[in-house]
A and B are shown apart, each in its own frame.
Chain A
């Protein structure tokens, strides 16, 4: 093989690793985008709720010593419950016409969830179980980390289930109806509040899985993970186009790969600057995002 080939192997390897990790960003981005699609509101507590769910599932790991896959499912379930609580506390009773109030209440919830976690764990990072973390798949000349591959596979499965729910069930029809035209949906007998609540539970479960996979791939869980995950998830949402699920998926993989390759070239302290630059490039040249429609709605 030529020298040039050896030069590019490592960057390509880091793009691949980053894209697999990026599937987590995609899940978080889908959550933001779905809630935005249905309510036209931004739920800033979402990533914190995901990490919170992962923490709750630690109980299953530490007390019951359950296998990793059960722990992941517990995280999804716990996060669904937290998602419902967030909806009740921050969105249910605040008038729809006040976007600032719900923005602020979800920030309050973000701080609250973070602090509950810090309080419960005394601020110490906790080890989190992973699957296949000792497996290395050798695809000459690349390596694929088993745990990252597992994360990628689980994300794909979760996205598949979500798309099935959205496009093949009555629940999904109701959700999409409310997203398109809330008052018309209500006239057809679809309860808006119920649909909103269900959306929060479903996205919560998705987020919980994402939180668990962050824990699994990093090896530890820390409350410090919530804010960076929020920022990355929001960036993914905007790059993918607001309200677009395929957009969030593509943007998640894009941001993941992009971030990892810049980490390879420029180091961990500088890599996020380039992600922000990517966002600004999109905002300047394609403000509606990859798959978003141009609309005046905000």
Chain B
């Protein structure tokens, strides 16, 4: 049973990461910085519970808020450029954050051991859950409560005026500008929301793995972050969840019996999926089809 709880935790955290990239992608911006925000949330969240002895919820919220502030600061210069330039700028930012933690030491003695982040060796002993006697199942539920809250919030935002504004910028910047939308404000807000969600995910991640190091937050994680919404499709938050389950559940776990060959198939399947469904697995047409199906059942 623990195995399934572990999977649920992993899928939950990656869903948060994917959702953070989803919000930014709605405005048409490809941000490879999500892994950087995730890392900030993870390290700060871990430091607040381990070094400062905070409760996990305020620690996570503060860490996420810090990520959001960093996202805002990065947003202003980075969003002056678009397309490929933005990809590279955000990629470089994410790498810079990773290297920052790689060189960051801050340890204090706690009992007879040293705790805190220690450069290349990483940040060990983030033992908030075991120390407070949370079982794996409880942790999984805790994570999914957050996932549901965030998903519901984005779902609601998507259907409100805010969502329309974000999508308008993503579809056609010129048209959006001509109806009086402030592009910079919208893009930076999306980046801030994305940074907050990624920080939240990072805070949870640090606590359930109990050991983080800079290598966890590299280019590959950044790629995963944008892969979920692109693979799942930008028409709905459900797409992100489907993509996370497809990648983390199906490709990583179900294909585990294939051993080495799994990794080969992984890249090939992404290439294939994009060729067959360039709009994402769960695109606007799929949404309509499902609506129609449910409509028929109601009638």
Contacts and interface: CB of A to CB of B under 8 A. Distances in A.
Interface of A: 36, 42, 89-90, 93-95, 98-105, 107-116, 118-119, 227, 230-231, 234-235, 237-238, 242, 269-270, 272-273, 275-277, 279-280, 283-284, 287, 298
B231 interface: yes
A104 B270 contact: yes
Contacts of A107: 223, 227, 270
Contacts of A115: 263-264, 266-267
Interface in B267-281: 267-271, 273-275, 278-279
Contacts of A102: 274
**Majority DSSP secondary structure for residues of A touching B:** helix
A238 B85 contact: yes
B99 A283 contact: no
B89 A94 contact: no
A298 B271 contact: no
Contact of B83 (A89, A99, A272): A99
Contacts of B120: 269
How extensive is the interface on chain B, given as a class?
35 or more
B89 A283 contact: yes
**Majority DSSP secondary structure for residues of B touching A:** helix
A142 to B, nearest CB: 30
Given A104-B231, A112-B268, A272-B95, A118 B82 contact: no
Given A116-B264, A280-B92, A105 B275 contact: yes
30 contacts: A42-B87, A98-B278, A102-B274, A104-B226, A104-B231, A105-B270, A105-B275, A107-B223, A108-B268, A110-B267, A112-B268, A112-B271, A115-B263, A116-B264, A119-B260, A119-B263, A230-B219, A234-B84, A234-B87, A234-B88, A237-B88, A238-B85, A238-B89, A269-B99, A273-B96, A273-B100, A276-B95, A276-B99, A283-B80, A298-B84
A191 B114 CA distance: 66
Contacts of A95: 278
Given A103-B30, A238-B89, A283-B77, A42 B84 contact: yes
B84 to A, nearest CB: 5
B196 interface: no
Given A107-B223, A107-B270, A108-B267, A93 B275 contact: yes
